[in-house]
Homo-oligomer: A and B are copies of this chain.
């Protein structure tokens, strides 16, 4: 088959950095007991009330083609949510429902890029970012955000990279680092975006998981609503990862074009899952806090476990369902550390290098197992590290 260059280049040809993940999965398949701290997914299932609402909608007849933009009631609920949480007046016309946050991300890049156009993203980064850019024929360009700057990008790095670029993807609260961008950082990004006429794609799927400080949407800054797409999702905030319901928010004129795309990518999202999402949003902020609470609690367990030693340090940023640990004092790379930890203690964490160069010398620990085994794993990690020097 004479396949397109675009599809054959999606992975960029190099390692995908997830060898450790695959190795851990293989060990589990072979019968080894491995504590997995690699997965960005809650250790609880979707709430039964939400599933009952979905079933009621399906039995009630929501089994035919749904409107491609999404059902009005859900678009409206998302619009209200954004208006309330970010202060930016948002109407139904600014909102399109997508098959999860990833589909929204894909649509945003298709809206911003033609073949050969450059899109910036901040390193460390979530695994699908460069591949999504390449999937629309774009050229991904990483901008390093160093650990010593709290994994927030600097003006110098961003401005230098922005020459000739078309789009910039940011993600705060951040996966993998947990960084929550400060107002200063966001103002700086907005300045660069305006100077270089960039479309900003703001992945805010962790916006309900902030342990210190506050989440600010870049779309709320002066003059940014007109050049920003916001990616949102029910996955992390409502423990609905498998339902694949997300949204893209942007200027009304742009959304008309995005709708044309959605007609041709998925032809809409299942009506019964949209009804489930609508019900879930109706459970209110209290429910979202319940879903986020375990990660906040476990982050405190991490702080406690790391007390009184200096080899493993908790990276200061504080959002999302992960912590990043700085293990540079051990002299090992993140890769080497994670591999040794897996082989000797059967604990799987992600090497920082899996998320880009700026993650070197770090590991990402997902706080997605129950408290007791999580605490035990942390104790093991500290003990393991002490034995390294």
A→B interface (CB under 8 Å): 1-8, 10-11, 41-42, 45-46, 48, 51, 54-55, 58-59, 61-66, 99-100, 102-103, 105-106, 110-117, 128, 131-132, 134-137, 166, 197, 199, 226-227, 239-244, 250-251, 253-254, 257-258, 260-261, 263-273
> Do residues B65 and A241 form an inter-chain contact, with CB atoms below 8 A?
yes
Q: A5-B114, A51-B55 are in contact. List 10 more A-B contacts (CB 8 A).
A: A1-B254, A4-B166, A7-B260, A46-B58, A46-B63, A51-B58, A63-B241, A64-B242, A103-B266, A270-B270
* Residue in A62, A105, A115, A258 with the greatest tally of chain B CB atoms within 10 Å: A115
Q: Are B41 and A63 in contact (CB under 8 A)?
A: no
Q: Are B54 and A48 in contact (CB under 8 A)?
A: no
Count of this chain's copies in the oligomeric assembly: 2
Bound-complex Cα distance A128 to B266 (A): 11
CB of B243 within 8 A of CB of A100, answer no
Q: Which residues of B contact A197 (CB under 8 A)?
A: 2
In whole angstroms, how far apart are the Cα atoms of A263 and B267 in the complex?
Answer: 18
| Residue from A42, A62, A113, A242 having most chain B Cβ neighbours under 10 A | A242
Check A264/B110 contact, CB under 8 A, given A58-B46, A99-B99, A242-B270. no
A3 to B117, CA, bound (A): 11
Enumerate 26 A-B pairs (CB-CB under 8 Å) in ascending A order. Answer: A1-B226, A2-B112, A2-B166, A3-B111, A3-B112, A3-B199, A3-B254, A3-B257, A4-B112, A4-B166, A6-B113, A7-B110, A7-B257, A41-B65, A46-B63, A64-B241, A99-B266, A114-B137, A115-B115, A115-B137, A128-B264, A131-B263, A135-B260, A137-B137, A244-B268, A244-B270
* Cβ of A44 to closest chain B Cβ, rounded Å: 9
Q: Which residues of B contact A41 (CB under 8 A)?
A: 64-65
Minimum distance in angstroms from A163 CB to a CB of chain B:
15
The answer, among B11, B131, B227, B264, for a CB contact under 8 Å with A132, is B264
A99 surroundings in chain B (CB, below 8 A):
99, 244, 266
Known: A3-B257, A51-B59, A113-B4. A131 touches B242 (CB 8 A): no
